[in-house]
Amino acid sequence: MKHTDISLILGSPESYFDKDVTVCGWIRTFRDGKNMAFMALNDGTSLQHLQIVVDKNSCSADLSALSTGASVAVKGVAVKSFNANQAVEVNASQVTLLGACPQDYPIQKTKTSLDFLRTLPHLRVRTNTFNAVFRIRSKLSAAIHEFFQQRGFLYVHTPIITGSDCEGAGEIFQVTTVGFDPSVKTQQEYDAKDFFGQRAGLTVSGQLEGEVMATAFGKIYTFGPTFRAENSNTTRHAAEFWQIEPEVAFAELPDIMEIATDFIKHIIASVLDGCGEELAFLEKFYEQGLREKLRNVVDNDFAVVDYAQAVEILKNSGQSFQYPVDWGKDLQTEHERYLTDVVYKRPVFVVNYPKDIKSFYMKQNVDGRTVAATDLLVPGVGEIIGCSEREADYDKLLKAITDRHMKLDDYKNYLDLRRYGSVPHSGFGLGLERILMYVTGMGNIRDTIAFPRAKNELR
Residues in the site for ligand 4AD, rule: CB under 6 A? 166-167, 205, 207, 228, 230, 237-238, 241, 243, 245, 383-388, 427-431, 433-434, 445
Which of ligand 4AD, Mg ion, none does 379 bind, CB closer than 5 to 8 A by kind? none
Q: Which span (24-32, 121-129, 176-184, 385-393) binds Mg ion, by CB under 5 A?
A: 385-393
Which of ligand 4AD, Mg ion, none does 238 bind, CB closer than 5 to 8 A by kind? ligand 4AD
Which of Mg ion, ligand 4AD, none does 427 bind, CB closer than 5 to 8 A by kind? ligand 4AD
The CA distance from 312 to 307, in Å, is 9
**How many beta carbons lie within 10 A of that of residue 81, not counting itself?**
16
Which of ligand 4AD, Mg ion, none does 70 bind, CB closer than 5 to 8 A by kind? none
Nearer to ligand 4AD, 69 or 429 (CB): 429
User: How many residues form the binding site for Mg ion (CB under 5 A)?
Assistant: 1
Chain residue at closest Cβ approach to ligand 4AD: 386
Chain residue at closest Cβ approach to Mg ion: 386
Which of Mg ion, ligand 4AD, none does 230 bind, CB closer than 5 to 8 A by kind? ligand 4AD
Q: How far is the CB of 222 from ligand 4AD (least distance, A)?
A: 8
Q: How far is the CB of 291 from Mg ion (least distance, A)?
A: 28
Q: How far is the CB of 348 from Mg ion (least distance, A)?
A: 15
Q: What angle do CA 398, 399, 400 make, to 5 degrees?
A: 90
Nearer to ligand 4AD, 167 or 194 (CB): 167
Q: How far is the CB of 410 from ligand 4AD (least distance, A)?
A: 15
Q: Does position 431 bind Mg ion by CB under 5 A?
A: no
Which of ligand 4AD, Mg ion, none does 293 bind, CB closer than 5 to 8 A by kind? none
Q: How far is the CB of 242 from ligand 4AD (least distance, A)?
A: 9
Nearer to ligand 4AD, 265 or 434 (CB): 434
**How would you write the chain as a 3-class SS string?**
CCCCCHHHHHHCHHHHCCCEEEEEEEEEEEEECCCEEEEEEECCCCCCCEEEEEECCCCCCCCCCCCCCCEEEEEEEEEECCCCCCCEEEEEEEEEEEECCCCCCCCCCCCCCHHHHHCCCCCHHHCHHHHHHHHHHHHHHHHHHHHHHHCCCEECCCCCEECCCCCCCCCCCECCCCCCCCCCCCHHHHHHHCCCCCCCEECCCCHHHHHHHHHHHCEEEEEEEEECCCCCCCCCCCCEEEEEEEEEECCCHHHHHHHHHHHHHHHHHHHHHHCHHHHHHHHHHCCCCHHHHHHHHHHCCCEEEEHHHHHHHHHCCCCCCCCCCCCCCCCCHHHHHHHHHHHHCCCEEEECCEHHHCCCCECECCCCCEECEEEEEECCCEEEEEEEEECCCHHHHHHHHHHCCCCHHHHHHHHHCCCCCCCCEEEEEEEHHHHHHHHHCCCCHHHCCCCCEECCEEC
Q: How far is the CB of 245 from ligand 4AD (least distance, A)?
A: 4
Q: How far is the CB of 187 from ligand 4AD (least distance, A)?
A: 26
Q: How far is the CB of 207 from ligand 4AD (least distance, A)?
A: 4
Q: How far is the CB of 341 from ligand 4AD (least distance, A)?
A: 17
**How many beta carbons lie within 10 A of that of residue 135, not counting itself?**
20
Which of Mg ion, ligand 4AD, none does 201 bind, CB closer than 5 to 8 A by kind? none
The CA distance from 98 to 74, in Å, is 10
Q: What angle do CA 305, 422, 424 make, to 5 degrees?
A: 20
Nearer to ligand 4AD, 237 or 418 (CB): 237
Q: How far is the CB of 437 from ligand 4AD (least distance, A)?
A: 9
Nearer to Mg ion, 168 or 386 (CB): 386
Nearer to ligand 4AD, 293 or 425 (CB): 425
Nearer to ligand 4AD, 135 or 237 (CB): 237
Please select the residue that binds Mg ion; options are 347, 379, 386, 452, rule is CB under 5 A.
386
Q: Which residues would be at the binding site for Mg ion (CB under 5 A)?
A: 386
